[in-house]
Amino acid sequence: MLNPQSASTPKGSPLEGWRRRISLNPVLFLEQERKSRSQSLANYKLSYYPKDADPETYDEGMGVCGWILTFISMFIVILTFPLSICFCLKVVQEYERAVIFRLGRLIGGGARGPGIFFVLPCIENYTKVDLRTVSFDVPPQEILTKDSVTVSVDAVVYYRVSNATVSVANVENAHHSTRLLAQTTLRNMLGTKNLAEILSDRETVSSCMQVGRFLLHIIFQMNQIFHFRQNILDEATESWGIKVERVEVKDVRLPVQLQRAMAAEAEATREARAK
């Protein structure tokens, strides 16, 4: 008696080949199929979404209603020409880019600018993004170091928008989010350090005769740490289209009692060397 499956499936057909592959190693077959379909979808979408946009946040199809509204908008622009030019032509500066949305979706081609660009009234809106470097003064942070010393630190963060489309599509407010992340990174980083690690060069500290020079040395050491930790903040903001260029410590304030104790220690060291 013939098997129904073998009778309905001719030898050498694609279905017969799939069945043989499944019978040999079903896990390997499913993994290969998943990779093949993912690669096919990636190749299919590659030419439709903007190169500087996340493909998961971009849908290339507007649908029938979208195309109807687009044609109606174009017809209105032609009908009211040349008055419509005042509403359709926009200008962005050399340091700006315009991210355009059509019916709520990102349009292809990435951000527009600099110069003149065209928008369709009623169905398109745009957001201007400033690409210039922004300096943010981090508010004074009261930080408890690893050895239970309270330090007040002021820092400055220099950052800029590196990808206008991502900064608009992936985060609600890229500037505000970057500033909050800078504050938390500052607190978390210095909270894992003790004062001895910050002041690694004990010879230089001992030779300081004034509290002012001592604080300048602390600032120098913290800046060295921040240059190392800058990559952490930069990697965290990469998905927001933000590039962190510099992180600098502006001021460090120690408790008054600790300043007096260190000044007395420096004075005692100076007198001992004088003898």
CATH value at residue 242: 3.30.479.30
Residues forming a β-bridge with 138: 155
Please report the pLDDT score of residue 202 as a whole number.
33
Q: Which of 157, 136, 153 is nearest to 144 (CA)?
A: 153
Residues forming a β-bridge with 251: 154
Of 130, 165, 189, the last residue of a domain is: 130
Q: Which of 126-140, 206-220, 227-241 has the lowest mean pLDDT?
A: 206-220
Q: Indicate whether 41 pLDDT > 80.
A: no
* Domain carrying residue 79: 55-130
- Say how far apart CA 32 and CA 34 lie, in whole Å: 5
- Say how far apart CA 147 and CA 157 lie, in whole Å: 26
Please report the pLDDT score of residue 32 as a whole number.
57
Residue of higher predicted confidence among 196 and 122: 122
Tens digits of per-residue pLDDT, 67-85? 888 888 888 888 888 888 8
When pLDDT is averaged across residues 124-145 and rounded to a whole number, the result is 85
- Say how far apart CA 105 and CA 89 lie, in whole Å: 20
Mark 141-152 as b/e (b = at least 16 C-beta within 10 Å): bebebeeeeebe
Of 82, 115, 130, the last residue of a domain is: 130
Task: Tell me, yes or no, whether 59 and 150 share the same domain.
Answer: no
What's the DSSP call for residue 238?
G
Tens digits of per-residue pLDDT, 89-110? 889 899 999 999 888 888 877 8
Q: Indicate whether 42 pLDDT > 50.
A: no
Please report the pLDDT score of residue 16 as a whole number.
54
Of 96, 130, 164, the last residue of a domain is: 130
Task: Tell me, yes or no, whether 119 and 16 share the same domain.
Answer: no
Please report the pLDDT score of residue 40 as a whole number.
40
Please report the pLDDT score of residue 191 as a whole number.
74
Please report the pLDDT score of residue 217 as a whole number.
44
- Say how far apart CA 69 and CA 143 lie, in whole Å: 56
Task: Tell me, yes or no, whether 200 and 242 share the same domain.
Answer: yes
Given pLDDT bands bounded at 50, 70 and 90, which one contains residue 128? very high
What three-state secondary structure class fits 50? coil
Mark 200-216 as b/e (b = at least 16 C-beta within 10 Å): eeeeebeebeeeeebbe
Please report the pLDDT score of residue 21 as a whole number.
53
Given pLDDT bands bounded at 50, 70 and 90, which one contains residue 265? confident
In-domain check, residue 75:
yes
3-class SS letters over 122-139 = CCEEEEEEECCCEEEEEE
Given pLDDT bands bounded at 50, 70 and 90, which one contains residue 138? confident
Task: Tell me, yes or no, whether 142 and 39 share the same domain.
Answer: no
Q: Indicate whether 38 pLDDT > 60.
A: no
- Say how far apart CA 260 and CA 210 lie, in whole Å: 10
Given pLDDT bands bounded at 50, 70 and 90, which one contains residue 27? very low
Token output for 89? 């032509």
Task: Tell me, yes or no, whether 241 and 262 share the same domain.
Answer: yes
Task: Tell me, yes or no, whether 216 and 185 share the same domain.
Answer: yes
In contact, 111 and 75? CB cutoff 8 Å: no
Strand order of the sheet with strand 150-161? 134-144, 150-161, 242-253
The pTM of this model reads: 0.59
Sign, CA dihedral 144-145-149-150, equals: negative
Q: Which of 217, 222, 220 is nearest to 190 (CA)?
A: 222
When pLDDT is averaged across residues 10-22 and rounded to a whole number, the result is 50
Task: Tell me, yes or no, whether 173 and 267 share the same domain.
Answer: yes
Task: Tell me, yes or no, whether 145 and 78 share the same domain.
Answer: no
Task: Tell me, yes or no, whether 126 and 160 share the same domain.
Answer: no
Task: Tell me, yes or no, whether 148 and 263 share the same domain.
Answer: yes
One-letter amino acid of 57: T
Q: Which of 174, 228, 230, 168 is nearest to 200 (CA)?
A: 228
Q: How many domains does the chain have?
A: 3
Task: Tell me, yes or no, whether 205 and 243 share the same domain.
Answer: yes
Q: Which of 45-59, 159-173, 194-208, 220-234 has the lowest mean pLDDT?
A: 45-59
- Say how far apart CA 157 and CA 176 lie, in whole Å: 13
- Say how far apart CA 85 and CA 216 lie, in whole Å: 59
Q: How far is CA 124 from CA 60, 100, 111, 119, 127, in A?
A: 15, 7, 14, 6, 10
In-domain check, residue 50:
no
Token output for 84? 């419509």
In-domain check, residue 74:
yes
Task: Tell me, yes or no, whether 144 and 268 share the same domain.
Answer: yes
Given pLDDT bands bounded at 50, 70 and 90, which one contains residue 213? very low
In-domain check, residue 13:
yes
